[in-house]
Structures are given as structure tokens and as C-alpha cells.
A and B are shown apart, each in its own frame.
Chain A
Amino acid sequence: MRFRHYRRDLPNRRIEGMNAITHEPGPAVEIRDLSCRYGSFTAVDRVSFAVGPGELFALLGTNGAGKTTTIETAIGMRRPAAGSARVLGRDPYRHRRDLAGAVAVIGQETGFADDLTAAETIKLWTDLHRLPSQSDALLERVDLAHRAAVRVGALSGGERRRLDLALALATSPTVLFADEPTTGLDPASRRRTWGLLRELTQRGTAVVLTTHYLDEAAELADHVAIMDRGRIARFGTVAEITAAYEARISMRPKPFDPLALPALAGRTSVDDGLLTVRTTELQADLHRLLDWAARTGVDLADLKAGPATLDEIFAELEAEPTATP
């Protein structure tokens, strides 16, 4: 389940540093038939995807679906049980240090030395990367300038998350792996983070993002994979994925007599007075319902009609007994 449309119009970037990497054309991240196991438990099962320069790829999925494990393999923190991961054309496990200058990582959990201040943490990071100091500018970008002299241990969860983002921005990465970068952020910080992620992709950074927020994926991602129990259950653009599902019409008819409904192309279900129609003929069925309501004088309260939302798709996937690859 790979896609082959990467943006090829972006110039190859040469990364300055101790180990300069020339980025060959082609996907920045390429995961092929990747499987990862913990003992006998298969956490990631034959997952494949590719991310080109300037693209944002979102991994969605239930808790324990294998998103973090996939990312940790892609950043060389663990070795695949089968299949392969390639980042900028290299094996991330064997070339971890060579890639470190070009690849930034925002882990699911922040990892800081609690007794260093925010500014010292950034300084440490840029020093390790042999980059000029730029703590002030970076803290400003993630709206943490006022917390520069505060020890990281005293920062709030959302502030630590933003510091994480600042470290990722510090190295102007060619590839960014961000594992739930907006979890725990307030709405304003989330938007700000989205803006910064967009800035990165516009400058050609390939981004692999995991998230539990479906609106985030819809907002940012070029392609989305929904993982479920180790496998990619759905893949495509958000529009492609939703198109594969029936559209929904929902309403609370008053008065409501289920037997009086007109003949519809879609399936109907009733839950606590809420009538839902799942249909492949959205317009026709909607027309029939409106016509029926007009004729019989039924009031269609809370009327909504549209394609399936990612939330609904998610709920259906979770309810499936086994993952469908």
C-alpha cells in the first residue's frame, strides 16, 4: 500500500554538519513491509508507506496500534523484525548518527533533564548539533520566551511539548518524525504548532506525524494511514478514505414513526430518537426525506447530511473484529 506521488519539484537539500548527507531524489522516508515484535507479540505488522519531501503523512490509530513503534524503528531506536525502513536512503538503525543532523524527532514523551532551564536545553541541543546559539529566537517561535530561565521540570505539560517542538525546529530538519506533537496543547498552541508544521513542509521537510486528533490529520496531512492492531487498515487522502464510506444523514423526526418513513436507497438505524441513514445516494435520499417531511408535516430537528467523518470511520474500524488490510 504505497503511493508514488512525491513532490519532485523541490530542490535537493544539502545538509551541513559533521556528516553531510546529500538527499537523493525519491521518498525521504520509505517504510516497506515493516514488522516489529515485542517477544512473540507483533506490534507492527507489514506496514508500508513512503513520504516525499514537503509532504506530511499522518499516522492515525487506536491506542497500541503500533504508531510509536513504527516511528521508533524509523528513527533507528529499534531494529525491524522484518521488512525495512529507509530514511534519506539510509538504514536508520545503522546510520543513526549520520542521519541525526537531518532528522528531527519529537517523541511521544518529552525527554529532558529536569534541572536545566528551557534556554539551556536549547543551547545544549544546538551545541550538540554544532549550530549557532539561537535560544531566544526559537523560544519566541513556540511562544516560550517568557519561560526561558525556568527549569524544564517546572514547565507545564504543554510548555514542555512546545520546547520539544523548538528543539525540532532548531536543526531545520529535512525529515521530522513527530509522535503526537499536539497532545496536551491548548487550542491556540495547537494552531500555532500546525502553522509551524506547515512552514516546515513548505520549506521541503518531510513530516511523519502521529495524532489522535482526526481534524488535525484532515487539516495538515497529504496522506493518512489509519493503523489498527499493527496494520494499516485504511490509507489515502482524507477525501479518498471518506469516499469509501457511505455518506450519513441524521435527524430527529418529530413526530417519529419509523414505519412511516419513505423508501430509501440507504440503510436506516435509530439510536435514542436519532435517525441515521447510511447511503451511497446522498442527494437522492436526502431529497426523498425532505419531500416526505414536507408532505407529512414531520419536523426534521438536528438535520445533518454529508460524507462520513473520520470520527465515524474510526469508530467503525474499532468495532471491526479483525483488521482489514
Chain B
Amino acid sequence: MTVLTLAVAESRLILRNRTVLLTAAVLPLIFGLLLSRSNLAGQAPSAGPIAAMQMVMLLVFGLFMAITMTLTARRQQLYLKRLRTSPASTASIVAGLASPLALIVLAQTAVVLAVTAWDSGSAPVHPALLVLAFVNGAVTMTAFGFLTASFTKTPEAAQITVLPGMLVFMAGVFLSFAPGEGPAAALRSAIPGAALAELTVTAWDGAADGAFASIAEPLLVSTAVALLASVIAAKLFRWQPRA
């Protein structure tokens, strides 16, 4: 209810600001589609890894970076300070501001993955798992965006402070492509972005072993990591510009 209220207000703000709309809605779509057509696409053995990279990229731009900037901008406008004097919880404020962005990314992902499916002549084996991967990614990106915003003073500074996060997500994706099992794999799932990529690949190409066994671990580990990031962020986050 509170999340919906905040999400409606936030959607209005996004729709009424053309620059934001352009950078949030159009640019990631172009990048995403370019990736389908890139050399990488030709070299990959299957469409799964391509879909994973596309999903991560869209979420990094459209959610991780966007929520970091949104939180810092809304803090500077003292909008967050105002919300803190309402009964809204920390989680619902962050979720309320993130959900319109997540919806935009969801639409973009649908378009880009449809193109990838058409290009590769393949379709995801487990479409429901693809949705689960997206949700997992959205939660992770929001949590790390919240964490990044907790040490970002201004929206301008966000252009720099998101870089470590972006590197980590990229590393997560590439490491997830490396073969590995047991404790090493669990550790890998802890790297933000890895679980998302792993789940996407499984959703698209199918799992070698039973599907459940191969998704449970990355799902649990990455959710725990996102939760931890959120808890730390909530502790560090300043709700007003004046410390």
C-alpha cells in the first residue's frame, strides 16, 4: 500500500522529467539491442550467456545506477527527509522509489530478450525461472544502489560512486560463466550479479542436473547478500543532506 503510493508518485516524477525518461527508458534499450548483435553474440555457444549479459546490463543501468541517483537526488530535494516524518518504513521508501524503475527495466528486458530469442532461434527452457532471475536481479541491484547512495553525497558524485558496483556486477557475470562446483560455486554466488547470470543461463539453456538443485543455492546466497547490503545501507544512509 505504502509502496504503491510512493511508486505512483515516483512514476509521475519520472514521466514528467524528460531527461530522466530518456536516460532511463531509451538508452539502455539501445545498448541492450547492440549487445545482441555484437561479436560476443556470434562467439557464444548458446543464447543463455548473451541473455544473462543483457539482463545484467539493463539492470545495472536502469536500476542500480538509477536508484542510486534517484535516492541522492530525492535526498537533496529534502523529499526523503519529508518521507522520514511519515509512517513509511525504510524498506517501503526504497521499494517505492525503485519499483517504477524496475518496471521500466522489465519492459526493456522483455524487448531485448525477445530480439535475442529471435536472433538465436532459441527460446528459454524455463520462462518462469527467467522471471525469478529478474526479480532476484532487481532485489540485488536495488540493495546495492541503496548501499551506494549511502556513501554518495550528490547525484553528480553518483557517476563516480557507482563504478565499483558496476565492476563487481561485471565480475560476477563473467565469473558465473566459469565452470565450478561445491564451496567455490557458493562463494561465487555471493558476488553480486553472479547468481542473476547463473539463473538466467539456467532459465534459457536448461540445467544439466535437476533444475531445483542448481537454482536454490545461488538464489539463497544472493538473497542473503542483498539483505546484508540493505541492512548495512539502512544503518549508513543519511536521509537529509545536512549530516
Interface residues of A (CB under 8 A from B): 17-19, 38, 75, 77, 96-97, 100-101, 103-105, 107, 109-116, 120, 124-125, 127-130, 151
Residues on B with C-beta less than 8 A from A151 are 16
Q: Evaluate whether A105 and B243 lie within 8 angstroms (CB atoms) in the complex, with A111-B78, A114-B77 already known.
A: no
Is A77's CB under 8 angstroms from B81's CB?
A: yes
A128 to B88, CA, bound (A): 7
Is A111's CB under 8 angstroms from B86's CB?
A: no
| Minimum CB distance partner of B4 in chain A | A127
| Minimum CB distance partner of B2 in chain A | A128
Is A115's CB under 8 angstroms from B81's CB?
A: no
24 contacts between A and B (CB under 8 A): A19-B87, A96-B84, A97-B88, A100-B85, A101-B87, A103-B85, A105-B85, A110-B78, A111-B79, A111-B82, A112-B78, A112-B79, A112-B82, A113-B13, A113-B74, A115-B17, A116-B12, A120-B9, A125-B86, A128-B5, A128-B6, A128-B86, A128-B88, A151-B16
Q: Evaluate whether A113 and B79 lie within 8 angstroms (CB atoms) in the complex, with A77-B239, A128-B5 already known.
A: yes
A115 to B87, CA, bound (A): 22
> In the complex, what's the smallest C-beta–C-beta distance from A19 to chain B, in angstroms?
7
Is A113's CB under 8 angstroms from B81's CB?
A: no
Residue-wise interface mask of B (5-21) relative to A, using a CB-CB cutoff of 8 A (1 in contact, 0 not): 11001001100110000
Q: Which of A101, A103, A105 has the most CB of B within 10 A?
A: A105
User: Counting CB contacts under 8 A, is B240 at the interface?
Assistant: yes
> In the complex, what's the smallest C-beta–C-beta distance from B1 to chain A, in angstroms?
7
> In the complex, what's the smallest C-beta–C-beta distance from A131 to chain B, in angstroms?
11
Q: Which of B74, B87, B240 has the most CB of A within 10 A?
A: B87
User: Counting CB contacts under 8 A, is B23 at the interface?
Assistant: no
| Minimum CB distance partner of A103 in chain B | B85
A100 to B1, CA, bound (A): 17
Top 6 nearest A-B pairs by Cβ distance? A111-B78, A111-B82, A100-B87, A127-B5, A115-B16, A128-B86
Residues on B with C-beta less than 8 A from A110 are 78
| Minimum CB distance partner of A17 in chain B | B87
| Minimum CB distance partner of A128 in chain B | B86
Q: Evaluate whether A111 and B77 lie within 8 angstroms (CB atoms) in the complex, with A19-B87, A38-B243 already known.
A: yes
A interface SS class: loop
> In the complex, what's the smallest C-beta–C-beta distance from B77 to chain A, in angstroms?
6
Is B77's CB under 8 angstroms from A107's CB?
A: no
Q: Which of A77, A100, A112 contacts B77 (CB 8 A)?
A: A112
Q: Which of A18, A75, A109 contacts B87 (CB 8 A)?
A: A18
For window 199-243 of B, CB contacts with A under 8 Å fall at: 239-240, 243
A110 to B2, CA, bound (A): 22
For window 68-103 of B, CB contacts with A under 8 Å fall at: 74, 77-89
Residues on A with C-beta less than 8 A from B239 are 77
A103 to B85, CA, bound (A): 8
Q: Which of B9, B16, B89, B243 has the most CB of A within 10 A?
A: B9
Residues on B with C-beta less than 8 A from A111 are 77-82
Residues on B with C-beta less than 8 A from A125 are 86
A19 to B88, CA, bound (A): 12
Known: A77-B84, A111-B77, A128-B87. 18 other contacts (CB 8 A): A19-B87, A100-B85, A100-B86, A100-B87, A110-B78, A112-B78, A112-B79, A112-B82, A113-B9, A113-B74, A115-B12, A115-B13, A115-B17, A116-B12, A116-B13, A120-B12, A128-B5, A130-B1
Residues on B with C-beta less than 8 A from A130 are 1
Residues on A with C-beta less than 8 A from B87 are 17-19, 97, 100-101, 128-129
Residue-wise interface mask of B (127-170) relative to A, using a CB-CB cutoff of 8 A (1 in contact, 0 not): 00000000000000000000000000000000000000000000
A17 to B1, CA, bound (A): 14
A19 to B74, CA, bound (A): 26
A124 to B80, CA, bound (A): 13
A78 to B41, CA, bound (A): 52
Q: Which of B12, B78, B89 contacts A107 (CB 8 A)?
A: B78
| Minimum CB distance partner of A151 in chain B | B16
A25 to B17, CA, bound (A): 49
Residues on B with C-beta less than 8 A from A112 are 77-79, 82
A17 to B2, CA, bound (A): 13
A114 to B6, CA, bound (A): 15
Is B88's CB under 8 angstroms from A77's CB?
A: no
| Minimum CB distance partner of B20 in chain A | A115
| Minimum CB distance partner of A168 in chain B | B85
A97 to B86, CA, bound (A): 7
